[in-house]
Structure 1
Amino acid sequence: MGIISFQGARTKVKKQDNTPIKVSDYMTRNLITFSPKQSVMEVMETLIKNKISGGPVVNERNELLGVISEGDCIKQLNESRYYNMPIDDANVERFMAKDVDTIDGNVSIFDAANKFLESKRRRFPILENGKLVGQISQKDVMKAALEMKGQNWRDV
């Protein structure tokens, strides 16, 4: 008489994909950008309308020149009040941050998370061949982590 097994049918275990999830997989490609000659008032309207806290400043060749944020706009408001100058005359070029950290779209999402922790920044522009192609935010990194919740992160 043969051996009877009560184990039942085995389902195949899915092999985990250990390919690193890259920044380019989660970056935002459709960005709201600003030009250096644009008025700060127009930037404030755009930030409020689109519920964003800042955006890249690019030239006509889509080369990154800087970033303008809510904080930069607040600085302008404060300055215009202090010097009693009309706010309409202020342009982005004068108030944008020009020293901008970028991140490579090919780095892993974990390297991006580490860079966010080290820099205290909320977003990083991504360039390819000197042109702006996207942006990764802390929220994008969190979305990636939620989608990976079943994986062993040490192997990624």
Structure 2
Amino acid sequence: MAIKSFQGARKQQNNTNDNEQLKVSDYMTRDLITFKPEHTVDEVIHALIANKISGGPVVNAKNELVGIISEGDCLKQITESHYYNMPVEQDVVGNRMVKNVETIDGDMDVFEAAKKFLNSKIRRFPIVEEGKLVGQISQKDILKAAMQLKGHNWKY
């Protein structure tokens, strides 16, 4: 009596890319909306709404990363200005941004970046090369990378 397998023939895996790393730099956004420390919070709020984004990097005149401003930072400013009866238009990004910004390397593997997102609860990481902001990777960018790999061998 022959034993039948319920498993179909396995598709031959293409192993030509087994040693190729999926880098953050391949999936990061390079065309960023950035802010300057001297921008008003009001300007940031308008830009966030108009561009449907939740935050952005803050750079100086040399395109060096000096902070991150987010919706949460703007909300905090709005609630404080309401409480103290101070106009929103007068406060600047440099007073509200997060200055201690964690970055990641563009050469980092996207799966390592995914782990970093999970461990840190941060929504976006800037990528800096030679002191200059070159891009940003978001959780959504990692998801897009995973969707491109869907059906492929997860080993690399």
TM-score, with normalisation over the residues of structure 1?
0.89
Aligned pairs (5 A) from 1:26-41: 26-41=27-42
CA contact (8 A) 1:62 1:131 kept: yes
Distance 1:14 1:94, change over 3 A: same
CA contact (8 A) 2:13 2:153 kept: no
Query: Structure 1: how far apart are the matches of 2:118 and 2:66?
Result: 24
Question: RMSD of the alignment, in Å?
Answer: 1.5
Matched, 1:17 2:21: no
**Aligned match of 1:98:** 99
Between Structure 1 and Structure 2, whose CA radius of gyration is higher?
A: 1
Deviations 1:16-41 (A, max 9, x none): 41211100000000000000000000
Query: Structure 2: how far apart are the matches of 1:150 and 1:13?
Result: 10
4+ residue segments displaced more than 3 Å: 12-16
Number of equivalenced pairs: 145
TM-score, with normalisation over the residues of structure 2?
0.89
CA contact (8 A) 1:126 1:135 kept: yes
Query: Structure 2: how far apart are the matches of 1:13 and 1:115?
Result: 29
Distance 1:123 1:13, change over 3 A: closer
Once the 2 structures are TM-superposed, how far is the Cα of residue 46 of structure 1 from its aligned partner? 0.2
**Aligned match of 2:128:** 127
**Aligned match of 1:147:** 148
Aligned pairs (5 A) from 1:51-90: 51-90=52-91
